[in-house]
Amino acid sequence: LKVYVTPRTTAREVVNVVVRQLNMAVILKGKKGPIYNRDMLKNFCLVAIIGARERCLRDDFKPLLLQNPWKLGRLYVRRKHDVLAALDHSSKLDRIEANRIDRI
């Protein structure tokens, strides 16, 4: 999911948009996935990942203000209690990307 942000967009705003879009996708596709209500949004956070390092961004942080090396990383929305979920996902994507490059 791509989200367009401005320099004034906060991490909380990004999280809210992403979770709402995921809710909409579940509904539109008729899946039995979870639907998160407004009260549950606080259970999610925006994380920045570079290599094997992950940083949970404060709700009021503006992601476009990330500095090196973090601005070179990936951003994920994850549940706050799933501490390494985004890092695990990023590692899997890196392995897939490496395999794709090896085949070229």
Which residue in the block uniquely carries the two structure tokens 């407004």? 38
SS3 60: coil
Number of Cα atoms under 13 Å in the Cβ half of residue 68: 0
Which residue in the block uniquely carries the two structure tokens 């490496």? 98
User: Is the pLDDT confidence value at 29 over 80?
Assistant: yes
Query: Are 53 and 72 within 8 A, CB to CB?
Result: no
DSSP-assigned beta bridge partners for residue 56: 47
User: Is the pLDDT confidence value at 84 over 70?
Assistant: no
The larger pLDDT score, comparing residue 62 to residue 89, is at 62
User: What confidence score (pLDDT) does residue 99 get?
Assistant: 46
User: What confidence score (pLDDT) does residue 69 get?
Assistant: 75
Give ∠ CA 6-89-98 in degrees, rounded to 5: 100
pLDDT in tens, 30-46: 888 889 999 999 999 99
Give ∠ CA 72-75-79 in degrees, rounded to 5: 150
